[in-house]
Structure 1
Amino acid sequence: MTEQDLIKFVKHSELFDYMVTRPLWHILPNWELTWDDNTDHFIPEEDSFAEKVNEMLDELIVTPITDNYHDNEDILAEHVQQNLNWNIIKVHGWWISCDYQDVINQGSFGDEEQKNLLSAAKGRIETAIKHGQSNFDDMEYGHQRILAMVLASILYQRSNDIV
């Protein structure tokens, strides 16, 4: 995935900010993001995650791709299983007995510098692009929902730097 692929994936998306930053409005109330075609970044605004989103996107460009982004998500689920004692088990590739988004979100608290979250996000974006979904809005809804939660979890984990 190139930098231009990632820019195309997020720019002028109708749903990106609604699904990624709106759930974090209680931290920074200005959740709507505005794209700047001149800089190919979101415009930083007061009480907004725009600057952190830009930093996260820049970081995604240099994040190495793993063979299977599910492996990164499994590490987070295993953290929940082992450290939070949630009664979850993986059966035929699926984590059973809990909402998958909750598992990944809670597992992110044990993810040093959000490395697994970033790798999972990059893998999900690259997979979407390979399947002809070149913009966040074009993604299949289930994968879109999980990607949005992964990106929101990264921002949440980094919100201490903001407030």
Structure 2
Amino acid sequence: MLLAIVLIVLTNVFFRYFLHIGLGWTEEAARFLLIAMTFVAAAVAVKEWGHFQLLIASKWIPERQHRFVQLFAVLVVLAMSAILVRYGIAITRVSWFQTSPTMEWSMGYLYSIVPVSGALMFVFALEHFFDVLRGGSLPRQGTAHDPHAPAASQNEQGSDQWL
């Protein structure tokens, strides 16, 4: 999506400054792609548990309570994901018959990314919830795509990951 945004914006710059032709649809398309990219990235961040974490605060909480803190963090993400789904569906319904000013697309297409990404976040968070319930731990930030990253010991996992 980022590559498409760059190409669209560069195309607009070329047409506007070299050919003196303004392409109005490019700004709207780039904006829609940026919004979609943001919600897709948020879902990926939940899958990899890569959102902001307060690791320094874990030092203040006894290690035996880290599991409860992790469960609480996942429950917060589940609640926020459910809110995205519920209100995303509502805004998609309301905006379905509105059209974008330049491209004249249904705004419902744009807003439909909200409940879709919310549903994905919910599924990923539910997977994390059951992993923690079974005695596992949340993924460590930064090691999701690194096959050479050393596996964390149980003590490291318990002290470094939550919220």
Q: TM-score, normalised by structure 1?
A: 0.25
- Per residue, is there more strand in 1 or in 2? 1
Larger Rg belongs to: 2
- Per residue, is there more helix in 1 or in 2? 2
